[in-house]
Amino acid sequence: MNFRTGRSLDEPEVSLTSLIDVVFTLIIFFVVTATFDERSAIQIDLPKASTQAAPAQDPPLTLAVDPQGRYFVENREVLKRDPASLRTAIAQVAGEARDRPVVVRADARTPHQAVVTALDVLGQLGFRRISIATVGTTDGA
């Protein structure tokens, strides 16, 4: 006895198209919204500095840079902000003593270019004992 009526049995079919679309949408969402931390790419240990200054034989030449990018050599303002004027002012104050230590005191809000210009001029003049003044941290680390 064959009870089939001539119809083929319809197999249930699962459409994966919508499921794949949802998965790809979630992947794109997570990739776009993920935050990538650039600091974790390179592992470096920064050097520690003590807050005690080493005794210096010569009094250091002081070069200060204020938040507006103005230069002060030994508390005297350099009238122009160009490297040639800064070079002239430093040469007048320092004379021929190129082994004299130099302390660059730049405000935290000073434009980076002003500090780089000052360090470049000092290097061109032949100063090799250059340090940047900082303040000690209060956490003791």
Identify the structural domains of the chain with CATH numbers, from first to last.
61-132 (3.30.420.270)
Mean pLDDT, rounded, of the chain: 79
What single string gives the DSSP state of each residue in the chain?
Answer: -----SPPPPPP----HHHHHHHHHHHHHHHHH----GGGTS---PPP--SSPPP-SSPPEEEEE-TT--EEETTEE-SS-SHHHHHHHHHHHHTT-TTS-EEEEE-TTS-HHHHHHHHHHHHHHT---EEE-----SS--
pTM confidence score? 0.56
Task: Please give the pLDDT value at position 87.
Answer: 92
Task: Please give the pLDDT value at position 140.
Answer: 55
* Per-residue pLDDT band at 47 (split at 50, 70, 90): low
